[in-house]
C-alpha cells in the first residue's frame, strides 16, 4: 500500500480523495432528496419508503458509508486547510483583491467553500439528531413509523423550518463550487465537457436546493 | 503633447533584510507623468528618497518588457496591479487617478521569503524545475527536428503552457499560496509534446513532490491564479497535471 | 603580442570538422578532474554549462539573478536562423554563411562565420528534442519564415517569443545538470573581478547580492557569457541589469576588447516619452512591410498627425530611397530617423540633451485603406496591442511613433577560433565575444550564435585547452591571487561607499547614455567622438567625487551599490568605444562615420585600410589603450559595396 500512503501524503492525492468522497456524498444527497420528496405523494408514501429503507441493508450501507465519508471528507479538507494556512507564511496581506472576471457568485462560492462547509457540518449534526437518531422512537401510524408526521411536527416550528431552508441553501452553495472542483481535482478537464460539468453542478445545486427547501416551505404555508 | 500628471500616496512595505520583520511606510509622490510605467514611477520615488537621504525601495525588475518574470508585487491587493495579462513593468500610470492611495506589498508565501522591501526569493521555483522539468536529451543525441512530427494544435497548446515566465503572481494571488499553476504549466508544456513522453509520469510525480516540499499550498480552484497570470495561463493545466499525477501514482506506478 | 586567430586553413567546408578532429581530447575519467566556471546563464552560458556537465566536466554556473530563466536572451522576439533548407528554397550552409558575412559588411572571419552556419542546423534539432514549442505546419513539420531581408525562409520561431522558448530549453538542460549534480548553480552572485594565476584565468571574485559577502570561485578555466553592452547608452532594449562589468574587469587583466564601436541600433522602437524613461521597447521590424515612415514637413507642426495633408508629409525614406523605400536596412532607417529629428522635424515628447522631439511616424492609414483593418490586425494585432498598452494610443486610429534604440552589440572581448581570449583560460561566448557578426548582425542570428557557441563549439574547444594543461592543483580561497582579488573589489566598493556626493548613480548613467547615443550612436564624426572622450573623462571624474549611494554599507543588499559598480565600468568602457569609433575611419555595418560616405550619403567602407579587427589592450584608466589589429582575409567571398538607392 505504499503507493497509497505516498499519494495521500501529497496535497494533490488528498485533494483527489476529498473530491471522491465529496462526489459520493453528492450521490447520497440525490437519493436522499428523492426519498424526501415522497412527502408530497399519498399520505403514507414517505412512511412506507422509510420503512422499506430501514428494513433493508441499504440503511446499514448508508449509515456506515456516511460515517466514513463525512469525517473523511471533512478531515482531508481540514488537513489541506492547515497546510494552506501555513503556506501563506507568518505575515499576511494588508490588502488582497481578486482580478477575476468570472461571475461574482462563482468566485464567492469558491472562496467561501471552507466556511460554508463548516456551517454545513454544523447543520448536518443538528439534522442527524433531529431525524436519524430520533427514528427508532417514532410512534407508529398504521403499519409504519410516522416519519412524515415527525417531519411536519418538527418543521412546523418556523425557526426550525428556517434552519432547514438555510441548510438546504448551504448545500447548494457548497455544491455550486464543489462539483466542478471535484471533477477538476480528479484531473478531469475537457474543452467541451468541463463547461457542461460547471453548468451541471450549478443545475444540480439548484435542483437540490429547490427540492430540499420545498419541504419546510410547504409545511409552513400548508 | 500635453503631459498629464497625477499625485499619489504610496504605502510601501519596508523590510531591511530577510527575517528582520518590516512595516509599512507612507510616501507622497507628486507630478507623476501618466506615460510612466509603474516601475519608472518607483524609480522617480527612489530618486526622491535618495535626495532625502533615505534608502531607496528595493524591487525586482530587469527586462521591463514583461518577459523576464523578475518584477511583481501587490498593488492594492492585486498581483501585478489592476490590469489583466500585464506584469507590473508593463503597467502604466495612466491606469491610476490623481489622489489615489496605493498599497504596495511583496508576494506573501512561505516558499517566497521576503529579502528586502518588495523583493522576494523565488528560488523554490527552480527547485521544482530541477525536479524533472526537462527532457533528458544530451547534446548530440537529438534526431533531426522534423523526424518527430508535432501537430500544429499540440505545438500551440504546448506553447501556451510554456509561455509561463515564473514570476510567482499565481502563488501571490492564490489564497493558499499554491504553486499549482506554475508547476502544472511546466508539466503540461512537456506532456503535450512527443519529446516529453518518456519521462512524463516520473516528471509529474517528482515536480509535484518538490512543490509540496517547498511549502506551497494546495489548489482550491478559486482561479485567482489564472486571473493574476500576466501570460493568462489557463487553470486547465492544473487539471491536466493532476490527471497525470493521479495516473502516475495509481496506474503507472511511479 | 600578435593576435593568433588559430583559424584552420584549407577548404572552408571542412575546416571545423578537421579542427575538431585535431583537438586534443580529455579522457572520460579525467573530465571530472576539470572544473569550469561559467559566468552568466543566458543562451550561451546555460547551454555551455549544461553541455560541459553532460560531457562530465565539473561546472559552476553563476548568475546575478534568482534564476537562469531571467537572462535577457528571454526577450528576443523574432526567431533563430538555421540552414536546414526544410522549405526546399535553395538554402544551404554556404548561403547562410554568405548572408551573414555580407550582412556583417565583411568585418568577420570567414572560418568563424562558416562554422556558425554549419552548426546552426544542429541547434534546431537539440532545441526540438528539449521540447521547445516551435511553430509547426499542419502536417507536424517545422514552420519557417523569412526574416531580415534574406531571400530564403530559414527562420524558426515560437510565436513572438523565440528567445524565451530557446532560453527555457537551455535552462531546462541546465537544471537537469543541477538536479544530477553536474552543475553547481550559484544565484544572486555578481562577478566583479577575475582571478588570474601565472597569466592564466583561474576564477572569479563574486559578491553575494543578498548579504554583500565577497568570495572567490576558482577552477581550471573561466567562461564569460555575460551578454552585450548596449546599456552604455542607458536607454536601450536591453534589460536594466545588463552590463559590461565582468568583461571589462577581464579586460583590465589583459583580455583585449575587440571592435567595441560595432553596435546595432534598431529602427523600430517605441520612442522616449520623457526624462524619467528607464527602458526602450522594440517593435518587430516587420511593421515596416506595411507602415509608411513620415514626418511633418513643417517644423513645430501643431496639428494632430491625421490632420496633416499628404502634401505636407515628408515620406523621407520613400523619397530618398525609391527602390527600397521603407524597407531599407536597419542602419539606414535608423540614421535617417536621427537626421530628420536633428533637423527639428521629429514628433512626440521633447527629450534628451537638446530637448528635441525624437520620433517619426510609422503610419498604417494607407495599408488599412488598401487591405482593410482585419488584414492589418491579422498581421500586426499583437504588436498594435503592445504599442497601445505602452503608449495609450491605438495605431489603427493614429500613426505609431517610432525611434531607433540600441539593441545589440557586435563587439566584445577578442577571442580566437577556439573562443579563447588572448588571456589563456578565459573563454568568451555569445554576445559577450566579438567574433561572428562582423560590423552588423543579421536578424535572427543572435540566438543562433549564443547557442552555437554554448552547445556545439565551446564544449569541444575548451577540451583542447584543458587537455593541454592537464589536471592542476586547485586554487584555494587563501591563494594570494584570490585574496588579492577580494582586496581589489573591497577597495573599489569602499571607495564608492565613501563618496559623500549629491548625484544618483542613475543620473550619471543617463548623462553618459545621452552623450553616447548622440555622438557614438547612429552617426559618428571625428569632432563628436573627440568631444565625447573628454566629456566622459570629466563625467567619470565627477562620478568618483559626487556619486551618492545609499545605504552606506556593503554588508547587506544594496541595489545602488550594484548599479554603481556597473556604471563605473560603463564610464570607462564608453571612452574605449569612442576611441574605437575614432580609430575606424571608415563606415561599415552599424558603424557610420560621417567622414566616410558616398556622395549620396551612403556608408562607404574602406577595405584597403580597415579590413581588420581592432583589439584594444588596457593600459590603465587614464592612459591610452594600445591598438592591436588582426587582419581579416577573405579567400572565399568577394567584397562588394552595398547600395540601397
Phi-psi region of C227 (alpha: psi -120 to 50; beta: other; left: phi over 0): left
> C-alpha cell of C295?
514626418
Q: From the list B36, B126, B195, which residue is nearest C128 (CB)?
A: B195
Whether the link from the prior residue into C551 is cis, omega within 30° of 0, is yes
Binary contact (C281, B115; C-beta < 8 A) = no
3-state secondary structure (DSSP) of residue B145 = helix
Percent of chain C with pLDDT over 90: 89
Using a CB-CB cut-off of 8 Å, the residues of chain B touching A82 are none
Q: Which of B24, B78, B111 sits opposite A94 (nearest CB)?
A: B24
Q: How far apart are CA A43 and CA A65, in angstroms?
A: 30
A10-22 per-position pLDDT tens digit: 999 999 999 999 9
For residues A16 and A187, give the distance between their C-alpha atoms in angstroms, rounded to a whole number: 8
CB distance C439 to C606 below 8 Å:
no
Measured between alpha carbons, how far is B117 from B54 in angstroms, rounded to an integer? 13
Chains that touch C (3 or more CB pairs under 8 A): B
Best of B202, B222, B225 to disrupt the A interface (most A CBs within 10 Å) is B222
pLDDT confidence bin for C1, thresholds 50/70/90: low
Q: How many CB pairs under 8 A join B and C?
A: 223
**DSSP one-letter code for B130:** H
Q: Please, which pLDDT band fits residue C111 given cuts at 50, 70 and 90?
A: very high
Q: CA nearest C237 in B: which residue? A: B63
Specify the length of chain A in residues.
222
Q: What is the pLDDT of residue B1?
A: 42
pLDDT at C514: 95
Mutate to test the interface with B, among C179, C296, C393 (most CBs of B within 10 A): C179
Angle, vertex CA C219, rays to CA C127 and CA C250, nearest 5: 85
Phi, psi at C205, each rounded to 5°:
-100, 130
CA-based nearest residue in chain B for residue C305 = B1
Q: Sorting pLDDT into bands at 50, 70 and 90, what band is C644?
A: low
| Mean pLDDT of the B2-20 span | 92
The average pLDDT across C267-283 equals: 92
Q: What is the distance in angstroms between the Cα of B18 and the nearest Cα belonging to chain C?
A: 9
Q: Which of B236, B232, B158, B217 is nearest to A183 (CA)?
A: B236
Q: Do C141 and B146 touch (CB under 8 A)?
A: yes
**What is the rounded distance in angstroms from the CA atom of residue C108 to the CA atom of residue C262?**
11
How confident is the model over B35-80, as pLDDT tens digits?
A: 999 999 999 999 999 999 999 999 999 999 999 999 999 999 999 9
Give the E-state strand segments of B34-162 in sequence order.
Answer: 74-75, 78-79, 101-105, 114-116, 119-120
Span A177-212, pLDDT tens digits: 999 999 999 999 999 999 999 999 999 999 999 999
A84, B177: Cβ pair inside 8 Å?
yes
CATH number of C268-406: 3.90.700.10
Q: Output the pTM of the full model.
A: 0.96
Q: Is C531 helix (H, G, I), strand (E, B) or coil?
A: helix
For residue C426, what is the enclosing H or E element?
A: strand C426-428
Instruction: Give CA separation, A74 vs A119, B18, B132, C544, in Å.
Output: 12, 36, 33, 66
DSSP result, C588-616: BTTB-BTTSB-TTS-B---HHHH-EEEEE
User: Which residues from chain A sit within 8 angstroms of residue B173, using beta carbons?
Assistant: 98-99
Looking at the DSSP assignment, which residues form a beta bridge with residue B186?
none
State the average pLDDT over residues A73-101.
95
Residues 262-291 of C with CB under 8 A from B: 273-274, 276-279, 281-282
Count CB atoms within 10 A of the CB of residue C500. 11
- Give the pLDDT confidence of C405-442 residue by residue, as tens digits: 999 999 999 999 999 999 999 999 999 999 899 999 98
CA distances (Å), C353 to each of C25, C356, C358, C519, C574, in order? 56, 8, 11, 11, 17
Q: Which fold has domain C498-611?
A: Methane Monooxygenase Hydroxylase; Chain G, domain 1 (1.20.58)
Predicted local distance difference test score (pLDDT) of residue A43:
79
More confident residue, C633 or A2: C633
| % of chain A residues with pLDDT over 70 | 100
Over residues C481-510, the mean pLDDT reads 97
Sorted by where each begins, the domain ranges of chain C are 268-406, 498-611
Q: Please report residues of C whose CB lies closer than 8 A to that of B53.
A: 550
Contact residues for C378 (Cβ-Cβ < 8 A; gap 6+): none
- Please report residues of B whose CB lies closer than 8 A to that of A186: 242-243, 246
Residues 114-173 of A with CB under 8 A from B: none
Average pLDDT over residues C632-644: 88
C557 touches chain B (CB under 8 A): yes
Phi and psi, residue B131, nearest 5°: -85, 45
Which CATH number is associated with domain B5-115? 3.10.20.30
Tell me, what's the pLDDT at A1?
62
Contact state of B134 with C172 under an 8 Å Cβ cutoff: yes
Q: Alpha-carbon distance C408 to C42, whole Å?
A: 15
State mean pLDDT over C279-285.
90
Domain extents for chain B?
5-115, 123-252
- Rounded distance, CA C94 to CA C84, Å? 11
Distance of residue B29 Cα from the nearest chain C Cα, in angstroms: 14
Touching subunits of A (3+ CB pairs, under 8 Å) are B
CA distance A173 to chain B (A): 14
Q: Which of B24, B222, B236 sits opposite A111 (nearest CB)?
A: B222
pLDDT at C602 (0 to 100): 85
Nearest to C440 by CA among C524, C331, C549, C334: C331
Quick check: B176 and A87 CB within 8 A?
yes
Distances (CA, A) of C360 to B180, B199, C263, C311, C612: 46, 52, 21, 17, 36
**Quick one: pLDDT at residue C645?**
63
C33 burial type by CB count under 10 A (0-12 exposed, 13-18 middle, 19+ buried): middle
Residues of A in contact with B216 (CB under 8 A): 87
Contact B246, B190 (CB under 8 A): no
Inter-chain CB proximity A11 and B209 less than 8 Å:
no
Task: Give pLDDT, residue B220.
Answer: 96
Q: What are phi and psi of C340, to 5 degrees?
A: -65, -30
How far, in Å, CA of B83 to CA of B174, rounded?
A: 17
Q: Which residues of B touch C555 (CB under 8 A)?
A: none
For residue range C218-236, what is the model confidence (pLDDT) as tens digits?
Answer: 999 999 999 999 999 999 9
| Distance (Å) from the alpha carbon of C96 to chain B's nearest alpha carbon | 19
**Contact across the interface for B36 and C273, Cβ inside 8 Å:** yes
Q: Which of C68, C168, C504 sits opposite B50 (nearest CB)?
A: C504
Q: What is the DSSP string of C66-129?
A: SSGGGSGGGG--S-EE----TT-SS--HHHHHHHHHHHTTT-S-HHHHHHHHHHHHHHHHHHHH
Q: Which of B217, B242, B246 faces A83 most closely, judged by CB atoms?
A: B217
| pLDDT above 60 (res B2) | no
How many helices and strands (H and E) does chain B possess?
Answer: 8, 7
Over residues B70-88, the pLDDT tens digits come to 999 999 999 999 999 999 9
The conformation of residue A31, written as its DSSP 8-state character, comes to H
The contacts of residue C305 (CB under 8 Å, 6+ apart) are: C347, C361, C363, C398, C399
pLDDT in tens, C316-347: 999 998 888 898 888 889 999 999 999 999 99
pLDDT tens figures, C244-269 = 999 999 999 999 999 999 999 999 99
The CATH class for the domain spanning B123-252 reads mainly alpha
Smallest Cβ–Cβ distance between B224 and the set A10, A80, A98 belongs to A98
Amino acid at each position: 500500500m505504499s503507493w497509497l500512503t505516498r499519494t495521500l501524503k501529497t496535497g494533490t492525492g488528498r485533494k483527489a480523495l476529498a473530491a471522491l468522497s465529496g462526489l459520493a456524498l453528492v450521490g447520497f444527497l440525490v437519493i436522499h432528496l428523492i426519498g424526501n420528496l415522497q412527502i408530497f405523494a399519498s399520505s403514507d408514501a414517505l412512511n412506507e419508503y422509510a420503512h422499506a429503507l430501514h428494513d433493508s441493508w441499504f440503511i446499514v450501507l448508508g449509515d456506515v458509508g456516511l460515517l466514513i465519508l463525512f469525517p473523511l471528507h471533512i478531515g482531508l479538507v481540514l488537513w489541506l486547510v492547515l497546510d494552506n494556512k501555513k503556506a501563506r507564511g507568518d505575515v499576511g496581506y494588508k490588502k488582497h483583491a481578486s482580478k477575476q472576471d468570472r461571475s461574482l457568485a462563482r468566485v464567492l462560492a469558491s472562496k467561501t467553500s471552507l466556511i460554508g462547509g463548516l456551517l454545513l457540518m454544523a447543520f448536518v449534526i443538528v439534522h442527524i439528531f433531529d431525524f436519524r437518531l430520533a427514528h427508532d422512537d417514532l410512534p407508529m401510524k398504521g403499519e409504519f413509523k410516522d416519519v412524515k408526521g415527525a417531519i411536519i411536527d418538527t418543521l412546523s416550528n418556523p425557526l426550525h423550518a428556517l434552519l432547514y431552508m438555510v441548510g438546504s441553501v448551504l448545500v447548494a452553495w457548497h455544491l455550486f463550487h464543489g462539483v466542478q472542483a471535484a471533477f477538476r481535482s480528479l484531473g478531469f478537464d475537457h474543452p467541451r465537457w468541463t463547461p457542461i460539468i460547471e453548468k451541471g453542478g450549478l443545475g444540480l445545486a439548484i435542483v437540490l436546493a429547490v427540492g430540499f427547501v420545498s419541504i419546510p416551505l410547504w409545511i409552513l404555508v400548508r | 503633447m500635453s503631459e498629464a500628471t497625477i499625485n499619489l500616496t504610496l504605502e510601501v512595505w519596508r523590510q531591511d533584510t530577510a527575517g528582520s520583520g518590516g512595516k509599512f511606510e507612507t510616501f507622497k509622490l507628486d507630478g507623476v507623468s501618466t506615460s510612466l510605467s509603474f516601475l519608472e514611477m518607483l524609480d522617480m520615488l527612489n530618486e526622491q528618497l535618495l535626495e532625502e537621504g533615505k534608502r531607496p525601495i528595493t524591487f525586482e525588475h530587469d527586462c521591463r518588457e514583461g518577459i523576464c518574470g523578475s518584477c511583481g508585487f501587490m498593488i492594492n491587493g492585486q498581483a501585478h496591479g489592476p490590469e489583466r495579462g500585464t506584469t507590473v513593468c508593463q503597467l502604466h500610470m495612466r491606469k491610476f487617478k490623481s489622489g489615489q492611495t496605493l498599497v504596495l506589498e511583496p508576494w506573501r508565501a512561505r516558499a517566497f521569503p521576503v529579502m528586502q522591501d518588495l523583493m522576494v526569493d523565488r528560488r523554490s521555483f527552480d527547485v521544482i524545475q530541477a525536479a524533472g522539468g526537462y527532457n533528458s536529451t544530451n547534446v548530440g543525441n537529438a534526431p533531426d527536428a522534423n523526424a518527430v512530427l508535432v501537430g500544429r494544435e499540440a505545438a500551440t497548446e504546448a506553447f501556451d503552457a510554456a509561455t509561463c515566465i515564473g514570476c510567482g503572481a499565481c502563488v501571490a494571488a492564490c489564497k493558499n499560496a499554491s504553486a499549482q499553476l506554475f508547476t502544472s504549466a511546466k508539466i503540461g508544456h512537456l506532456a503535450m509534446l512527443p519529446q516529453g513522453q518518456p519521462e512524463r509520469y516520473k516528471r509529474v510525480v517528482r515536480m509535484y513532490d518538490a512543490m509540496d516540499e517547498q511549502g506551497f499550498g494546495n489548489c482550491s480552484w478559486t482561479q485567482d491564479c489564472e486571473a493574476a497570470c500576466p501570460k493568462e495561463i489557463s487553470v486547465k493545466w492544473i487539471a491536466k497535471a493532476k490527471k497525470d499525477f493521479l495516473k502516475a501514482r495509481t496506474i503507472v506506478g511511479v | 603580442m600578435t593576435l593568433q586567430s588559430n583559424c584552420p586553413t584549407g577548404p572552408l567546408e571542412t575546416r571545423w570538422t578537421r579542427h575538431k578532429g585535431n583537438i586534443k581530447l580529455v579522457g572520460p575519467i579525467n573530465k571530472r578532474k576539470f572544473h569550469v566556471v561559467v559566468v552568466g546563464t543566458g543562451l550561451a552560458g546555460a547551454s555551455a554549462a549544461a553541455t560541459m556537465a553532460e560531457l562530465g566536466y565539473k561546472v559552476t554556473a553563476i548568475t546575478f539573478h534568482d534564476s537562469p530563466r531571467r537572462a535577457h536572451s528571454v526577450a528576443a522576439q523574432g526567431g533563430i536562423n538555421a540552414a536546414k533548407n526544410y522549405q526546399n528554397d535553395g538554402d544551404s550552409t554556404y548561403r547562410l554563411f554568405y548572408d551573414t558575412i555580407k550582412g556583417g559588411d565583411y568585418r568577420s572571419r570567414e572560418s568563424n562565420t562558416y562554422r556558425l552556419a554549419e552548426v546552426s542546423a544542429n541547434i534546431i534539432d537539440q532545441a526540438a528534442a528539449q521540447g521547445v514549442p516551435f511553430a509547426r505546419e499542419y502536417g507536424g513539420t517545422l514552420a519557417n519564415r523569412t526574416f531580415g531581408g534574406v531571400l530564403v525562409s530559414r527562420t524558426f520561431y515560437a510565436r513572438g517569443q523565440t528567445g524565451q522558448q530557446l532560453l527555457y530549453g537551455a535552462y531546462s538542460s541546465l537544471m537537469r545538470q543541477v538536479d544530477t549534480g553536474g552543475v553547481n548553480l550559484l544565484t544572486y552572485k555578481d562577478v566583479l573581478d577575475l582571478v588570474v594565476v601565472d597569466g592564466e584565468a583561474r576564477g572569479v571574485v563574486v559578491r553575494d547580492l543578498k548579504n554583500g559577502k565577497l568570495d572567490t570561485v576558482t577552477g581550471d578555466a573561466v567562461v564569460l557569457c555575460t551578454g552585450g553592452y548596449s546599456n552604455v547608452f542607458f536607454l536601450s532594449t536591453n534589460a536594466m541589469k545588463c552590463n559590461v562589468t565582468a568583461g571589462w574587469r577581464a579586460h583590465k587583466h589583459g583580455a583585449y576588447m575587440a571592435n567595441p564601436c560595432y553596435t546595432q541600433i534598431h529602427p523600430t522602437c517605441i520612442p522616449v516619452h520623457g526624462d524619467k524613461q528607464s527602458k526602450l521597447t522594440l517593435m518587430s521590424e516587420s511593421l515596416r512591410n506595411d507602415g509608411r515612415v513620415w514626418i511633418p514637413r513643417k517644423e513645430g507642426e501643431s496639428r494632430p498627425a491625421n490632420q496633416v495633408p499628404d502634401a505636407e508629409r515628408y515620406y523621407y525614406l520613400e523619397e530618398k530611397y525609391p527602390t527600397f523605400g521603407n524597407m531599407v536596412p536597419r542602419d539606414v532607417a535608423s540614421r535617417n530617423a536621427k537626421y530628420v529629428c536633428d533637423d527639428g522635424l521629429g514628433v512626440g515628447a521633447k527629450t534628451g540633451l537638446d530637448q528635441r522631439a525624437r520620433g517619426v511616424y510609422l503610419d498604417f492609414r494607407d495599408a488599412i485603406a488598401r487591405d482593410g483593418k482585419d488584414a492589418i490586425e491579422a498581421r500586426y494585432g499583437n504588436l498594435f496591442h503592445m504599442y497601445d498598452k505602452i503608449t495609450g494610443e491605438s495605431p489603427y486610429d493614429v500613426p505609431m511613433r517610432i525611434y531607433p534604440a540600441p539593441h545589440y552589440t557586435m563587439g566584445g572581448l577578442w577571442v580566437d577560433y577556439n573562443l579563447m581570449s588572448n588571456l589563456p583560460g578565459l573563454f568568451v561566448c555569445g554576445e559577450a565575444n566579438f567574433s561572428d557578426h562582423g560590423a552588423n548582425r543579421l536578424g535572427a542570428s543572435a540566438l543562433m550564435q549564443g547557442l552555437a557557441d554554448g552547445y556545439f563549439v565551446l564544449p569541444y574547444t575548451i577540451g583542447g585547452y584543458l587537455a593541454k594543461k592537464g589536471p592542476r592543483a586547485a586554487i584555494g580561497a587563501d591563494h594570494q591571487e584570490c585574496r588579492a582579488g577580494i582586496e581589489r573589489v573591497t577597495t573599489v566598493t569602499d571607495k564608492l561607499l565613501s563618496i559623500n556626493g549629491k548625484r544618483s548613480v542613475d543620473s550619471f548613467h543617463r548623462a553618459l547614455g545621452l552623450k553616447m547615443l548622440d555622438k557614438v550612436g547612429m552617426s559618428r564624426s571625428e569632432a563628436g567622438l573627440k568631444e565625447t572622450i573628454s566629456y566622459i573623462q570629466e563625467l567619470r571624474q565627477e562620478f568618483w567625487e559626487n556619486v551618492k549611494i545609499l545605504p552606506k554599507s556593503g554588508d547587506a543588499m544594496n541595489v545602488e551599490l550594484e548599479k554603481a559598480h556597473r556604471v563605473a565600468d560603463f564610464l570607462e568602457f564608453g571612452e574605449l568605444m569612442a576611441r574605437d569609433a575614432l580609430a575606424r575611419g571608415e563606415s561599415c555595418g552599424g558603424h557610420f562615420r560621417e567622414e566616410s560616405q558616398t556622395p549620396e550619403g551612403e556608408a562607404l567602407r574602406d577595405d584597403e585600410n580597415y579590413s581588420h579587427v581592432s583589439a584594444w589592450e588596457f593600459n590603465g584608466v587614464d592612459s591610452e589603450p594600445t591598438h592591436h589589429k588582426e587582419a581579416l582575409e577573405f579567400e572565399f567571398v568577394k567584397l562588394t559595396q552595398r547600395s540601397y538607392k
